[in-house]
Homo-oligomer: A and B are copies of this chain.
Amino acid sequence: MTTDNFVTDNFIEQIQQSKQMGSAQAGLSRYETPLVTVDIVVCTIQQNRLKVLLIRRKRAPYEHTWAIPGGFIREGETLEEAAANRMQEETNVENIYLEQLSAFGTPGRDPRARVITVAYYALVGADQLTLAADANAEDVAWFSSAELPHLAFDHAEIVHFALERMKDRLETSSIAFQLLPQKFTLTELQRVYELILNKSLDKRNFRKKILSSGILKDIGETKMEGYHRPAQLYSFLAL
């Protein structure tokens, strides 16, 4: 599961050595060749909370500290493929929505070497959660976005950036549906909005807005849950 993490950490030391040799030979000390990684803020909704997937580091620096999944870009991979692949390798989550956030490259963000990371965020639907479940619970875990532990490197900044970006995208894009199963109730959809925006919304205004936008399809079915009136099920109508 996290064997790749081990490879990554070893690799930085090895690269540092080979780089020094190469640079000395070529006389290029003024330039450095930074290392490039991808890091992914993986989000889902679970237990009525917005959750972020973290892995616990096994080696220094930041040994035993939680971090977001990531790793090196391999030959032939696009940046987005690299993000998808590193996420799959480290957390067993695959085939989900990915969007680039920004590159982070402040000198010193990794104490070992100059490492520039291209950060992505990923959204895991509630019906895809079984995929993530068989990741080793000791090393990989979901944390409430509001109660994150101390994070390695500049990962706290990256997660914050992701959560803010999601607020923007919620209104201008259709990301909310990425966090729900294919069939969902309006109350469930409203909950997604509330968790991302981190504020409560008026039920009548929310339903009015969503339904009048025409992006939902009322499939005839209902969903019973508890001893009360069942809810209408909807599906996302792609444009």
- Mask of A100-144 contacts with B, CB within 8 angstroms, 1/0: 101111110000001010100000000000000000000000000
Query: Would you list which residues of chain A between 38 and 90 have a CB under 8 Å from chain B?
Result: 72-79
Decide: A23 and B18 in contact? CB cutoff 8 A: yes
Which of B17, B35, B107, B118 interacts with A33 by CB under 8 Å?
B35
A15 at the interface (CB under 8 A from B): yes
Quick check: B11 and A31 within 8 Å, CB to CB? Answer: yes
B-side contacts of A102, CB under 8 Å = 100, 102-103
A1 to nearest B CB, angstroms?
19
Q: Chain A contact residues: over half helix, strand or loop, or mixed?
A: mixed
CB < 8 Å neighbour of A103 from B18, B76, B79, B107: B79
Q: Which residue of B lies closest to A168 (CB)?
A: B172
Give Cα distance in the complex from A172 to B11, angstroms: 42
Chain B: CB-nearest residue to A71? B31
Interface string of A207-222 (1 = CB under 8 A from B): 0000000000000000
The answer to whether the Cβ of A26 comes within 8 Å of any Cβ in the partner chain is yes
Tell me the A residues contacting B by CB distance below 8 Å. Answer: 11, 14-15, 17-19, 21-23, 25-26, 28, 30-36, 72-79, 100, 102-107, 114, 116, 118
